[in-house]
């Protein structure tokens, strides 16, 4: 979902200059712009849903039509709930930029990498730690 939203704005991938320090001010500004754009897109989607739900509040006499409408509304609300959670992750990522922790793994502290951050700007784990976490979840059955 986040990837789809990033493609709407068409942010060009960040190409670091030779010898540029990882998560330099320019890189932080680049990722902040991506995150702010993503947050704005999510907020617009949520607002659009609220207006749509208010406008389409029709009471159908036919139980099948009513059930279909309720199912559509439930699906839309689940999607918005996921987006609300993503907004929280975006805010946390922006806070990590402000504190200088953005782009570094929460688990082991290594650089996550520009390409991974481009693909998932809210990533908090390097690929190795994320893979380990997924294996643990699979074993536990979460």
CATH number at residue 86: 1.20.120.910
Structurally, the chain folds into a number of domains equal to 1
pLDDT by residue for the chain (142 residues), tens digit each? Answer: 444 544 456 788 888 899 999 999 999 999 999 999 999 999 998 888 877 777 766 777 788 888 888 888 888 889 889 999 999 999 999 999 999 999 999 999 999 999 999 999 999 999 999 999 999 999 987 6
What lies within 8 Å, CB to CB, of 87 at 6+ separation is 39, 42, 43
Residues 127/116, Cβ–Cβ less than 8 Å: yes
Look at residue 1 in the predicted model and tell me its pLDDT. 46
Look at residue 2 in the predicted model and tell me its pLDDT. 47
Look at residue 57 in the predicted model and tell me its pLDDT. 66
Look at residue 35 in the predicted model and tell me its pLDDT. 97
Domain region containing 41: 2-10+19-140
**Residue 62 CB-half CA count within 13 A:** 4
């Amino acid at each position: 979902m986040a990837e789809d939203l990033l493609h709407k704005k068409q942010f060009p991938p960040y190409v670091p200059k030779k010898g540029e320090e990882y998560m330099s001010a320019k890189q932080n500004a680049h990722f902040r712009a991506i995150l702010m754009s993503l947050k704005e897109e999510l907020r617009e989607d949520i607002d659009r849903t609220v207006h749509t739900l208010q406008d389409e509040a029709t009471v159908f006499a036919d139980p099948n039509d009513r059930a279909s409408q309720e199912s559509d509304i439930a699906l839309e609300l689940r999607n918005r709930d996921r987006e609300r959670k993503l907004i929280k992750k975006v805010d946390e990522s922006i806070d990590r930029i402000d504190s200088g922790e953005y782009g570094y793994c929460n688990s082991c502290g290594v650089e996550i990498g520009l390409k991974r951050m481009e693909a998932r700007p809210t990533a908090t784990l390097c690929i190795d730690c994320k893979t380990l976490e997924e294996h643990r979840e699979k074993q536990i059955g979460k």
